Amino acid sequence: MFFLPLFDTVAVPGGGFQPAWALQSNQFIQDWGFDMKKNVASQFVGCQLISKSDGSAVTTGTTTIYITGDGGTQTVGSVGAGACTHEGNGYWTYAPAQAETNYDQIGFTFTHTSACNVTLPIYTTFPQTGDSYGLANGANGFVAIKADTADILVDTANMQPKLGTPAGASIAADLLTIGGFVDGIETTLGVAGAGLTALASQASVNTIDDFLDTEIAAIKADTAAILLDTGTDGVQIAPVDKQSTENGQAQGGNANSITLRAAASAEDNLWIGQKISIYSGTGGGQTRGIANYNGSTKVVTVARNWTVNPDATSMYRVELDFGPKVNNSLEVTASAVTGAVGSVTGLTAATVHADLDDIQARLPATLVGGRMNSDVGAMSDGVLTNAAIYADAISSAKITASANAAIAAAVWNDATTGYGSPGTFGKLQTDMSVAVSVVDDFLDTEIAAIKTKTDLIPAAPAATSDIPSAATIATAVFTTQLTESYRADASAPTLAQGICEMLAHEGEVAIAGTTKTIKKFDGTTTAETFTLDSATTPTSITRAT
């Protein structure tokens, strides 16, 4: 075992001395490259720090790490500004950020004011030994490989039963046998099929061949005519979107319009009178007549509102209609029909004969004065007008008594609610009814009030003895004892109240300071109080209570 004295020193380049125990203290680190995963977080680097002065473990203070990547500029660690953690006994660690591991070679330099600097040169690699475990257990790992090989075994196990047992020694031998058979067939057929022409069936084949030459030509002519009539391409009936002069996917629509594709014709009113059909998408199965077309906005206005409004999913086609003339509601219009009508669907001679018999049954057997009498059961509005009636058609001589009675009954029994026009007799009758009702209600109350008053009149007012004389009235006024009462403050008195107040001022009165109190007739009860403007020389008085 070899020991160095604690204070032995050796010379160092540039002057000065380094303790012998510190000489090459980090040599093993410099010569030993540690591995680290490249560009992976949550890894650690660490080193042992010893004191510059005595070689003891540095366990306190601040250790800062600097990082040099791929020989670049050295920078302080980014995590906690490079602060390292003391794990114990002078061992310090640092957890670099992911970006700090993204180099091929990294130098981690641990610095401490009291310790010798230590640098760890590290070469990054990935994957490492332990990483293969994750790959082996991943989606394409051993489990997936085992499943694939199992499938291969299943497939190859089925091959033998499907191929069967060779007839000969091997499948290759069987293929050689088949080759011999093919050679024999070629020999039998001969060069260019000469062997076939000698067969008895060749004559029948020649007959069929001649027949096909003529018949196929005739079939081709017929199909050409059909294609010409149907306008198809000879493969299938043209699709619905091709049976038109304009088709596509709509841009939108509303209750009475549909907006065609942006590439539709720019010519206004191009398709008025034609039909537009929605054959797919929203509103499919609807057909309307075209009433208007705006080539700028691509909006087609239809003659009748849609049942289901189209939208941007609707597929449309504008159909050229060369059938009967129709209006914008797709109704057939014609002013006249020239020539004989070949047929009418649903109409037969039997149905026409039956209708004629029904009409004859409704006609009278004979005419009266060359005319047919009939009773009117009902009339449409506007049939019986002033212009339609002869001026002298209705007169008293031509209206029977029963008709007069019926008219009178209808007039007097007709409700007035339907006759409200000003100036009419119906309006006058209604107004009179309302006025009478108002007067009736007024009389009910006013007559009752009048009766109350008249009940106070003597039964025989003509008897003057019932009316008191002036002397009697004067006696009753001047000899009847008053009922003592006083007016309210600031209100006008009755005759009795005025007399009582004047007598009270002349009777019992008490003055205390600026308050004057007048007593009632009993001399003790206060009737009213007044306030004087002075207790010694008053010049005004104001009622207080």
Cα–Cα distance measured from residue 497 to residue 483, given in angstroms and rounded to the nearest whole number: 9
Q: At which residue do the structure tokens 């209600």 appear? A: 441
Of residues 239, 307, 238, 302, the one with CA closest to residue 275: 302
What is the bridge-based pairing of β-strands 246-249 and 315-319?
A: antiparallel
pLDDT at 195: 65
Cα–Cα distance measured from residue 382 to residue 388, given in angstroms and rounded to the nearest whole number: 10
pLDDT at 297: 96
- Provide the terminal-to-terminal Cα distance of the chain, rounded to the nearest Å: 133
Cα–Cα distance measured from residue 307 to residue 495, given in angstroms and rounded to the nearest whole number: 93
Query: Under DSSP, is residue 279 helix (H, G, I), strand (E, B) or coil?
Result: strand
Count CB neighbours of 58 within 10 A.
Answer: 21
pLDDT at 7: 33
Phi, psi for residue 385 in degrees, rounded to 5: -120, 170
pLDDT at 32: 47
Cα–Cα distance measured from residue 486 to residue 499, given in angstroms and rounded to the nearest whole number: 9
CA 87, 89, 93: angle at the middle one, nearest 5?
30
**pTM higher than 0.75, yes or no?**
no
Q: Which residues of the chain have pLDDT under 50?
A: 1-17, 20, 24-33, 234-236
Of residues 258, 228, 256, the one with CA closest to residue 246: 258
Query: Under DSSP, is residue 510 helix (H, G, I), strand (E, B) or coil?
Result: strand
Of residues 62, 59, 49, the one with CA closest to residue 22: 49
pLDDT at 59: 95
Cα–Cα distance measured from residue 401 to residue 405, given in angstroms and rounded to the nearest whole number: 6
Query: Under DSSP, is residue 12 helix (H, G, I), strand (E, B) or coil?
Result: coil
Cα–Cα distance measured from residue 39 to residue 212, given in angstroms and rounded to the nearest whole number: 80
Evaluated on CA atoms 361, 367, 370, 372, the torsion sign reads negative
Cα–Cα distance measured from residue 426 to residue 232, given in angstroms and rounded to the nearest whole number: 76
> Could you write out the three-class secondary structure of 300-344?
EEECCCCCCCCCCCCEEEEECCCCCCECCCCCECCCCCCCCCCCC
> How many residues make up the chain in this entry?
545
What is the bridge-based pairing of β-strands 299-302 and 257-259?
A: antiparallel
pLDDT at 35: 77
Cα–Cα distance measured from residue 291 to residue 303, given in angstroms and rounded to the nearest whole number: 5
| 281 within 8 A of 267, measured Cβ to Cβ | no
User: If you write DSSP's letter for every residue of 136-151 in order, what string do you get?
Assistant: HTSTTSHHHHHHHHHH
